[in-house]
Amino acid sequence: MKLFLNTLLMQKLAPTVIGMYVKVLHKTCTVHITGAEQLQAYIDAQQPMLPCYWHQQMTFAIDFLWGLCQQGVKASVLVSPSKDGDIGNAVLKKLGVGVLRGSAHRTGAVAMRDVYLTISKEKCSVGAAVDGPLGPAREAKIGVITLAQLSGAPIIPIANACNHKIHLNSWDNFFLPLPFSTIHTVIGKPLEVEKRMSTEQISELQQQLTDQLNQLSLQAEQQFD
């Protein structure tokens, strides 16, 4: 019973505490963004996008999406249906960012249908950690490519690096930025995906996305050299 109550208390308090911490980061960290001009045409045309990032770098990838929302872009984040995802769901809602529950890896067609409808009918950009929810780390899964095929939305690779952070003992070596840090966010070249592609072409594009995100991550880290 004690364990149950402690868990329940944690689930109640964690979203508030994490949400407050993210707001502190947003106010105190200095963020430099490279490549954002590549998105302006999509923003002006109100065209949905599929921002993609590594799970490890999620904090300021979502902060970037939050910034897009403040520019008038309708955006949501794809969140795992797991218990950990429950906390993420609550945090994002407190920040005013839309949430879609599910992952192309775990819930298949159901998640695909919901995300596709959100993109196509609501003209909503959907962000996703493309190696989540459980890895392998830094290997893009096929789900986002399928969504791009169905919806016609471009894939937008995003990476970031931070000079002051702590790493968590997790499958992806997740890093949590510290207040008053400097963040470098790099936006890669949008990937337009054709609706009809062979299995081999899809695999090649999947590898291309993996390589591009890793290159962008390295580029962001090199900003501190």
Please write the tens of the pLDDT for every residue from 166-217: 999 999 999 999 999 999 999 999 999 999 999 999 999 999 999 999 999 9
pLDDT confidence band for 40 (50 / 70 / 90): very high
d(CA 184, CA 71): 20
pLDDT confidence band for 108 (50 / 70 / 90): low
- The answer to whether 63 and 112 have CB atoms below 8 angstroms apart is no
Q: Residue written as tokens 């002006």?
A: 44
Joined together, the tokens standing for residue 113 give 């249908």
Which phi and psi (to 5°) does residue 45 adopt? -85, 0
Residue 107, pLDDT score:
45
Joined together, the tokens standing for residue 95 give 């920040």
**Is the pLDDT assigned to residue 82 strictly greater than 90?**
no
Domains in the chain, number: 1
CATH number at residue 139: 3.40.1130.10
d(CA 74, CA 57): 21
* SS3 label, residue 72: coil
Residue 110, pLDDT score:
60
C-beta atoms surrounding 61 within 10 Å = 23
Helix (H) or strand (E) segment spanning residue 219:
helix 199-222
Tell me what the mean pLDDT of segment 75-80 comes to: 83
What residues make up the domain containing 88?
A: 2-222
> pLDDT higher for 199 or 16?
199
Which phi and psi (to 5°) does residue 104 adopt? -60, -25
Residue 1, pLDDT score:
39
Joined together, the tokens standing for residue 200 give 């081999």
d(CA 181, CA 198): 44
Q: Residue written as tokens 């045309």?
A: 45
| pTM score | 0.88
pLDDT confidence band for 2 (50 / 70 / 90): very low
